[in-house]
A and B are shown apart, each in its own frame.
Chain A
């Protein structure tokens, strides 16, 4: 497979992941999932309710080539996240788990300490662990050491649509990462997804920006195109920025004007 996304020993031919939350209905969600070309789709867990038959397994299983990535949303501790991951594996039959532990209900920012502990345990259990994390280059390395299959730093707070606020930390994080870096959360416009890919992200995960667009399927297609364009630009090699500095007195006169 050409330029496949390698994740936990599996190959995927799309670098756009999508989330299934916040859609108006299941039909809009499945239409967006198809239009996105995404191979990895996140789902959440919930206790079964008598009232609503909201099991997403059947509608998503009907789309060929999808791998489900259950998340641990709702967990507030490592113990709860590990339990959620085990349940998710029973339900999805997928080795992937997106670890998200965000105890603060207002900004939903991840708890790095509980996240690290959950990831350490789940990696030992053989999961392909994808942790949702603050854009912290040191935490990313600690999670890599713990055996995560990728890291998923946030661009900005979940659902905020504020784009790549963490760009500078993402740059440091990507620079030294040995595992794929997938930007998760905060993206609003396809151009931001393209920018993330140009920076060297291995993929992006988009949910709200697609789910609450006027036309979710069309927006999913737009994000797919942006991710491809950004990736292609990354591989093509962006031009160097011009060096703008113009020293007042020559710095290289000690070389006596000779050139190599």
Chain B
């Protein structure tokens, strides 16, 4: 399925799409007639699980995914909450409500506001915070982010960031400030589509973003979270590339943790419509297939998803979930007028309600990732 583009044409530098490294290329596995010469990471198995047709297979996969998740992670679901620090953004990602050309009430949390939001999160029981900003801009650059990380690290045992792609030195600086993990999604692994969607700004640099997790782990962060924004491109191609990316990181950085997330882009009234919408059944299949092929890897699901879907997936493949998210800046203390958020939160339950659901399913919500006694 393909829709005509609903966004202005790219206006960045007139370079061709990036040449992606072998380890992010799903190509050899997508063409059924071409058998890749070697398959050390058993990509073939993932592809078979993704393409296995009978609907009955999905139930079998779910059973196996649940068994593996329970073996490796027990009955525990790790909870985290995002904190949007700023929605200033210099980028032009066609699918995002915070893109620089969108009318948006721009806000940034000042230090005292950051403290107040962190305190509000603490009161909710959160101990694992993910700090978010848009693309690098004067309002929210490195100094701002490093300060926010240091503030959060004083309160929480685990602090992560989801922000713009940085240099190794910058990751080192954030790690030193107490940042334990980096979340960064490649959005799509298809270089041509990537260039279409990222209309201007530093984010147009496909390789700089693709290699950001390598730089972060080399700079001493403990873990990275990667993902593809499903709905942008061919979902099978993107998740196969995502799997290869995860395996690349696991081989290259044996001390580093690698987690995988499965964000879906949602239609936005009047704006962006996903070109290749991914339905619930396909998303479930993708998650089960990842659990079967990566039994030891944390798999995360955010509050972008509806409550029923999250409830169904908790513990059968998924072992890490965000909770009570506010995707608006300053959202933990108040609703901010005029800010539509980066994406719509579908699961709006509060921490208590969400934990009650998990316990009903025989799962134990856990707020602590690890005690930060090792972070100097």
Contacts and interface: CB of A to CB of B under 8 A. Distances in A.
B63 A246 contact: yes
Given A255-B284, A258-B281, A260-B279, A243 B38 contact: no
A256 B64 CA distance: 20
A251 B66 contact: yes
B56 to A, nearest CB: 10
Nearest to A140: B254
Contacts of A200: 40
B308 A254 contact: yes
A247 B62 contact: yes
B107 to A, nearest CB: 36
A223 to B, nearest CB: 22
Interface string A168-188: 000000001110000000000
B58 interface: yes
B342 to A, nearest CB: 26
A250 B284 CA distance: 14
Given A240-B48, A243-B64, A255-B312, 20 more contacts: A3-B37, A176-B250, A176-B251, A178-B251, A237-B39, A237-B42, A240-B49, A243-B292, A245-B60, A246-B63, A250-B59, A251-B59, A251-B62, A251-B66, A252-B312, A254-B308, A254-B309, A254-B312, A255-B280, A255-B281
Contacts of B49: 240
Nearest to B44: A237
Contacts of A259: 55, 58, 281
Contacts of B64: 243, 245
Contacts of A251: 59, 62-63, 66, 312, 316
Interface in A98-114: none
Interface in A1-50: 3
A141 interface: yes
Contacts of A176: 250-251, 254
22 contacts: A177-B251, A178-B251, A235-B37, A237-B35, A237-B39, A243-B60, A243-B63, A245-B63, A245-B64, A251-B59, A251-B66, A252-B59, A253-B312, A254-B308, A254-B309, A254-B311, A254-B312, A255-B58, A256-B280, A258-B279, A258-B280, A260-B281
Contact of A240 (B37, B45, B250, B284): B45
B366 interface: no
Interface residues of A, number: 25
A201 to B, nearest CB: 11
A195 B274 CA distance: 46
Interface in A36-76: none
Contacts of B251: 176-178
Nearest to A257: B55
Interface in A220-260: 235, 237, 240, 243, 245-247, 250-260
A254 B310 CA distance: 10
Interface in B43-88: 44-45, 48-49, 55, 58-64, 66-67
Nearest to B283: A260
B61 A243 contact: yes
Interface of A: 3, 138, 141, 176-178, 200, 235, 237, 240, 243, 245-247, 250-260
B37 to A, nearest CB: 7
Interface of B: 35, 37-40, 42, 44-45, 48-49, 55, 58-64, 66-67, 250-252, 254, 279-282, 284-285, 292, 308-309, 311-312, 316
A256 B308 CA distance: 11
A138 B250 CA distance: 13
Contacts of A3: 37
A37 B37 CA distance: 23
A112 to B, nearest CB: 16
B361 to A, nearest CB: 11
Nearest to A172: B296
A252 B58 contact: yes
Contacts of B285: 260
B58 A247 contact: no
**8 nearest CB pairs, A to B:** A254-B312, A260-B282, A245-B63, A251-B62, A243-B64, A141-B254, A259-B55, A247-B63
A189 to B, nearest CB: 25
A177 B251 CA distance: 6
Contacts of A246: 60, 63
